Amino acid sequence: MARIIAVTNQKGGVGKTTTVSGLAGEFTAQKKRVLAIDLDPQGNLSFSLGADELGITIHEVLTGEATLASAIKHTDNCDVITSNILLSGTELELKTAGREFILKNKLKEAADDYDYILLDTPPALNILTINAYTAANDLIIPMTAEILSLQGIAQLKETIIAVKKYYNKEMDVRGILLTRYNPKYQLTKDVEEMVQIVADQLDTVILNTKISPCISAAEAPAHQKTVRRYAPRCKAAKEYKALAEELYGNI
């Protein structure tokens, strides 16, 4: 049975896609069966993992025009379901009762085919994000050690609490992941103290693993590889390995 992991933050540029790709690379390297689903209309994860943007996307799956299986694309990194700009209209298209459960129900088709299903959510609190939360076993919240990123986390908290109350009582907020982390900055220390308050309110933790600035992680998407495949000895690759082990043990 697949473990479904949603990586989320309503603020853009905090490392959601990089985190999904980083974990996908590590899980795949450990011979796990991995499916990554791009729920962001910008399609950055699709490109980063080298998935062909043509053909069936998650948009057609959510609107009932195609099955989940027909949308899966096989890459050298992992299996991927892509997205494109059509996904931005999903809020208006999904109007039926129970629309919050569409993705969860669709993922049942693949539950026995994968060990991990990773969801890259859009930088918005919309129906796509709600679907991801409703489907997820685990939530990981990346954020940079900046004040504006902290504000995004505080707003995200209300949505998480509502989803746990009404749609997915079993969802586990596994932790807040600090990205572009530099302990030398005083701002980093100040923000980390404030993040701890939010973590306590969400009954979660600041993860021990921190993701440092790394040029190889920034270069990897251009080569359509995970950082594990592109530069396995770089600092970010080692940190994502540590993150996977912190969250899911010695995989």
pLDDT computed for residue 251 by the predictor: 58
Rounded distance, CA 148 to CA 169, Å? Answer: 29
pLDDT at 145: 79
Query: Is 0.85 topped by the overall pTM?
Result: yes
Q: What is the pLDDT of residue 228?
A: 96
Model pLDDT for residues 186-229, shown as the tens digit of each residue? 877 888 888 888 899 889 999 999 999 999 999 999 999 999 99
Q: How confident is the model at residue 150 (pLDDT cuts 50, 70, 90)?
A: confident
Determine the pLDDT at residue 235: 95
CA distance 163 to 19: 23
pLDDT at position 12, please?
A: 86
pLDDT above 90: residue 146: no
Closest CA to 227 of 209, 244, 210, 239: 239
For residues 123 and 12, is the Cβ–Cβ distance under 8 A? Answer: yes
- Per-residue pLDDT of 92-109, as tens digits, reads 788 888 999 999 999 999
User: Other CB atoms closer than 10 Å to residue 141's CB: what's the count?
Assistant: 29
pLDDT at 117: 98
Contact 144, 180 (CB under 8 A): yes
